[in-house]
Amino acid sequence: MSETISRIGIIGCGLMGAGIAEVCAKAGSDVIVVESDDERAKAGRARLEKSLTRAQERGKIDDAAAVLERVQVVTEIASLADRQLVIEAIVEDEQAKVDLFARLDEVVTDPEAILASNTSSIPIVNIAGATSRPQQVMGVHFFNPVPVLRLVELVPALTTADATLERAREYVEGTLGKEAIVCQDRAGFVVNSLLIPFILSAVRMYEGGFATAEDIDKGMVLGAAHPQGPLALADLIGLDTCLSAAESMYAEYKEPLHAPPALLRRMVSAGHLGRKSGKGFYDYS
């Protein structure tokens, strides 16, 4: 019987890493986050503090300081030696992840530790192959914003042991209180495989002048009971993120439905990335 997971390592304290650190610490785990340098570690900690302070102000947690005390943000990967579960959330770059997992394999001493990636599109099996313990490597894919969205996709590679999947599920559902779904190691997993072609179809409709952005979104909100329309959702996700998800799925499946429309590429080139840049299919300025 494996020990219950309580010592978590996270690599990368950006948008996703900070969110994952937050939910793990809120659930009572001891969390060490590794960033690439002091400046980014400082920025990562500030991101975490801001989110926890906001959660306290809104009455979602009682004591932000107590949660923060369970999180260390450091720059030395060797600090992860005693971790039972490490979740990598660095840039979406296969070589960077492969190099990192090879290093992680050297530093993590617990023979039962699970080494997980939050990647949205890189084959888990390629990352697993960089380690001496591919049976303990898998995808654990959270959704943005991590403290709000309850879903986690668990992605075993062809090399992942069943026991690894079950132990990760126990942590994600039992400790974090999230809901897990399991899917194969293929670009897009379940959610993006369904969502991205839907968003791209809406972009094509708009691009072709078939209907206005407002009417396309209103159609899906009022006609299909979606909480928001596909173009508003694309703006929220970030058009650059939508584009890279589409590109990785197109590379995997060569399906015309996954091919990014020219307008999406042009908007990303123009810096119209949606809410985060102030302009996308809608104006947020």
Give catalytic residues, as residue numbers: 120, 141, 153, 192
Using the rule CB under 6 A, give the single segment among 14-22, 59-67, 163-171, 227-235 that binds ligand NAI: 14-22
Determine, following the binding rule CB under 6 A, whether residue 16 of this chain makes contact with ligand NAI: yes
The piece of 11-19, 124-132, 169-177, 258-266 that touches ligand NAI (CB under 6 A) is 11-19
Least CB distance to ligand NAI at residue 44 (A): 6
Tokens coding 117: 């990636």
- SS3 at position 86: strand
Piece of 32-40, 154-162, 206-214, 216-224 that binds ligand NAI (CB under 6 A): 32-40
- For the sheet containing 114-117, what is the strand order? 71-74, 30-34, 7-11, 85-88, 114-117, 137-142, 151-156, 179-182
- Does 11 bind ligand NAI (CB under 6 A)? Our answer is yes
Distance, CA of 68 to CA of 199 (rounded, Å): 37
Residue 144 in contact with ligand NAI, rule: CB under 6 A:
yes
Which residue lies nearer to ligand NAI by CB, 13 or 27? 13
Task: Give the containing element (helix H, strand E) for 95.
Answer: helix 94-107
Q: Which residues, 6 or more positions from 164, have their beta carbon under 8 angstroms from its beta carbon?
A: 114, 135, 136, 137, 138, 156
Which parts of 210-239 interact with ligand NAI (CB under 6 A)?
Answer: none
Nearer to ligand NAI, 35 or 217 (CB): 35
**Sheet strands (E) in 47-123:** 71-74, 85-88, 114-117
200 vs 205, which CB is nearer to ligand NAI? 200
Residue 90 interacting with ligand NAI (CB under 6 A) = yes
- Number of residues that make up the chain: 285
Collapse the DSSP code of 36 into the 3-class scheme (helix H, G, I; strand E, B; otherwise coil) and give the result: coil
**Whether 5 contacts 171, CB under 8 Å:** yes
Applying CB under 6 A, which of residues 6, 36, 126, 135 lies at the interface with ligand NAI?
36
Asked if 74 interacts with ligand NAI (CB under 6 A), we say no
If binding is defined by CB under 6 A, does position 180 make contact with ligand NAI?
no
Contact 219, 277 (CB under 8 A): no
From 83-91, 153-161, 249-257, 277-285, give the range in contact with ligand NAI by CB under 6 A: 83-91
Rounded Cα distance, 63 and 230, in Å: 37
Of the two residues 67 and 122, which places its CB atom closer to ligand NAI in the complex? 122
Task: Determine which residue in the list 32, 89, 127, 196 makes contact with ligand NAI, applying CB under 6 A.
Answer: 89
Residue among 51, 59, 67 nearest 147 (CA): 51
Interface residues for ligand NAI in 98-137 (CB under 6 A)? Answer: 100, 118-120
Closest to ligand NAI by CB, 66 vs 181, is: 181
Min separation Cβ 100 and ligand NAI, Å: 5
Answer whether 7's CB lies under 8 Å from 52's CB: no
Distance of CA 49 to the CA centre of its chain: 19
Chain contacts with ligand NAI (rule: CB under 6 A) = 11-17, 34-36, 40, 89-92, 96, 100, 118-120, 141-142, 144, 241
